[in-house]
Amino acid sequence: MSIAFTYLPAWLLLAVVAVANGSLRQFGYGRYMSELAAHQVSTVTGILFTGIVAWAFSRFFPIESAQQARIIGASWLAMTLAFEFGFGHYVAGHSWRRLLTDYNLLAGRLWVLFLAWIAALPLLLYHLQASGT
């Protein structure tokens, strides 16, 4: 089966997980801590939750090669960025400046780590599969 019909639509599942994670932050623990701390916790839980879901998915649909994993990672990253900026700006009405603030690691914003995770995750899963883990 082609990656276009397996791993690219799997991104939709990861997007649902990410939205649920954001909802957990907004309607749950985010009420009890600063916005920055909630953002940091949410980034870590987002990495954890998407990792679990992608790992489970990869058990049913193994990645066939390192090259395929790189293509999947690049595609997931592109779709994540397109969703973030498209939805964030055109639907949620956030300014470009506000959207870009999440990229400032020096200010404690960790979103870049999530993006790196999404891009690297398929290759990590491939290597875990190849090692029998």
pLDDT reading at 133 higher than 70: no
Q: Shortest CA distance to 16 belongs to which of 68, 57, 66? A: 57
pLDDT reading at 1 higher than 60: no
Locate the DSSP E strands across the chain.
Answer: none
Q: How far apart are CA 110 and CA 108, in angstroms?
A: 6
Q: Shortest CA distance to 85 belongs to which of 103, 67, 70? A: 103
Instruction: Report, as an integer, the average pLDDT of 82-96.
Output: 91
Q: How confident is the model at residue 51 (pLDDT cuts 50, 70, 90)?
A: very high
Residue-level pLDDT at 28: 96
pLDDT reading at 6 higher than 90: no
Under DSSP, is residue 75 helix (H, G, I), strand (E, B) or coil? helix
Q: How confident is the model at residue 8 (pLDDT cuts 50, 70, 90)?
A: confident
Q: How far apart are CA 43 and CA 37, in angstroms?
A: 10
pTM summary value: 0.90
Residue-level pLDDT at 59: 93
Spatial neighbors of 117 by CB under 8 A, at least 6 apart, are 47, 50, 51
Is the separation of the CB atoms in 114 and 51 below 8 Å?
Answer: no
Bigger pLDDT: 1 or 77? 77
Instruction: Report, as an integer, the average pLDDT of 23-38.
Output: 96
Q: What is the dihedral of CA 87, 70, 44, 50, to 10 degrees?
A: 70
Segment 94-119, tens digit of pLDDT: 899 989 998 999 999 999 999 999 99
**Domain segments of the chain as ranges:** 3-130
pLDDT reading at 9 higher than 80: yes
Amino acid at 75: S
Q: How confident is the model at residue 78 (pLDDT cuts 50, 70, 90)?
A: very high
Q: Which two tokens stand for residue 75?
A: 């595609």
